[in-house]
Amino acid sequence: MRLTNIKKLVATGALGLIAVLGTAEIANAQTYRDYQRQQRQVQRQQERNIRQQQKAQRQYQRQMYRLRNQYGYYQTDQRGIQILRDAVNRGYQQGFYAGQTGRRTGNNSYTNISIYRNGNYGYNSYVNSNQYRYYFQQGFQRGYQDGYNSRYQYGYRSNNGINILGSILSTIFNFSN
């Protein structure tokens, strides 16, 4: 009987050893998965931090301009400046065509024309609507005068259409950075 007891004891010990080793292996696998998950979380957080730093640098590097007109001061960036320049040019174009129509109909006043009063033709909400209207109307006034008088004092004709002169833009825009 002793041999049977020894066999049982060895078999039980072997099963216990297998159970302990299997549990340790499972624990190691879980620990490794936990480690990988933590590493991914750390990596995602580092990537978020880098994106936030880059965003802050872009905002810091963005050059701001200060415009002055009859309403006071207005601050915007390069994109805002471009939108307001486009407003002057659109105003000039629309005013030129309205001036040509006014000459044919005998209307020498642009102040009652709805596109002039509204001043929102081509408006982009990136800039203040009052600012856009002001610059659109500045271009419209000059365009109307040129169109009504069949001249190009404030603008020029090119293959791309009618545009306001750069020197006129400079007089309309009073900005500093």
CA dihedral 72, 124, 115, 138 (to 10 degrees): 40
Q: Could you tell me which residue, 116 or 72, shows the higher pLDDT?
A: 116
Average pLDDT, the chain: 81
Residue 64 has pLDDT above 80, yes or no: yes
CB atoms under 10 Å from CB of 65, counted, come to 16
pLDDT of residue 102: 95
In the chain, what percentage of residues exceed pLDDT 90? Answer: 38
- Whether the predicted pLDDT of 9 surpasses 70: no
Q: Report the pLDDT value the prediction gives residue 97, as an integer from 0 to 100.
A: 95
Question: Which of 18-22, 49-53, 62-66, 97-101 is least confident?
Answer: 18-22
pLDDT-derived band at 138 (thresholds 50, 70, 90) equals very high
- Residue labelled with tokens 């872009």: 58
pLDDT attached to residue 111: 92
Residue labelled with tokens 């009073």: 174
**Would the pTM of this model clear 0.75, i.e. be above it?**
no
Q: Residue 34, exposed/middle/buried by CB under 10 A (0-12, 13-18, 19+)? A: exposed
According to the model, what pLDDT value does residue 41 have? 83
Q: Over 70: is that where the pLDDT of 28 sits?
A: no
| Dihedral sign (CA 38, 39, 42, 47) | negative
